[in-house]
Chains A and B, each alone.
Chain A
Amino acid sequence: MPQPRFRVKPPSPSLTRHSVKAYFPYLFAGLFVLVFFDSWKRAEIAPELFFSDRGRASLWKFLTGMFPPEVSWNFLSLMLQPALETIQISIWGTAIAVVIGFPLGLLGTHTLVVGGILNDAELQGAPLRRGLRQGIYLLARSLLSLFRSIPEFVWAFMFVRAVGLGPFPGVLAIGVAYGGMLGKVYSEIFESVNSRPLEALQATGANKLQVFFYGWLPQALPNFVSYTLYRWECAVRASAILGLVGAGGLGQQIEISMRMFNFNEVLTILIMLFLMVAAVDYLSAKVRAML
Chain B
Amino acid sequence: MSPVPLPNTCETIPPIGGGASPSSTWKNAAIGLAFVAFLIWSYRGAGIDLAQLFSADSFGQILIYIKKLLPPDLSPNVLREAMKGSIETFAISFMGTLLAVAIALSVVFFASRNLIFSGLLYEMEPKQGWRRKARIVPYLAAKSLLNILRTVPEMVWALIFVFLVGLGPFPGVLALGVHTGGVLGKLFGEVLENVDSQPIEALQATGANRLQILFYGIAPQVLPQFISYTLYRWEVNIRMAAVLGMVGAGGLGQRIHIAISLFFEQQLLTLIIAIYILVTIVDYISAYLRRKVS
Q: Which residues of A contact B (CB under 8 A)?
A: 35-36, 38-40, 42-46, 49-50, 55, 58-59, 62, 84-85, 87-89, 91-92, 95, 149-151, 153-154, 157-158, 161-162, 166-168, 170-172, 181, 184-185, 188-189, 192, 219, 222-223, 226-227, 230, 233-234, 237-238, 240-241, 244-245, 248, 251, 254-255, 258, 261, 266, 270, 273-274, 277, 287, 290-291
Contact = CB atoms under 8 A, between A and B. Distances in A.
A92 to B, nearest CB: 5
Given A85-B46, A150-B272, A43 B173 contact: yes
A185 B12 CA distance: 11
Contact of B170 (A49, A154, A287): A49
B160 A62 contact: yes
Nearest to B31: A287
Interface of A is mostly: helix
Contacts of B43: 88, 92
B107 interface: no
A169 B19 CA distance: 35
8 contacts: A40-B91, A44-B169, A85-B45, A88-B41, A149-B279, A230-B14, A258-B163, A261-B163
Interface residues of B, number: 65
B16 A192 contact: yes
A91 B42 contact: yes
A277 B172 CA distance: 24
B27 interface: yes
The 4 lowest CB-CB distance pairs between A and B, nearest first, are A234-B10, A88-B42, A39-B91, A222-B20
B46 to A, nearest CB: 4
Interface stretch (B147-155, B204-212, B214-222): B147-155
Contacts of A43: 88, 91-92, 94-95, 169-170, 172-173, 250
A171 B260 contact: no
Contacts of A287: 31
B170 A39 contact: no
Interface string B221-239: 0000000000000000001
Nearest to B62: A162
Nearest to B27: A290
B16 A227 contact: yes
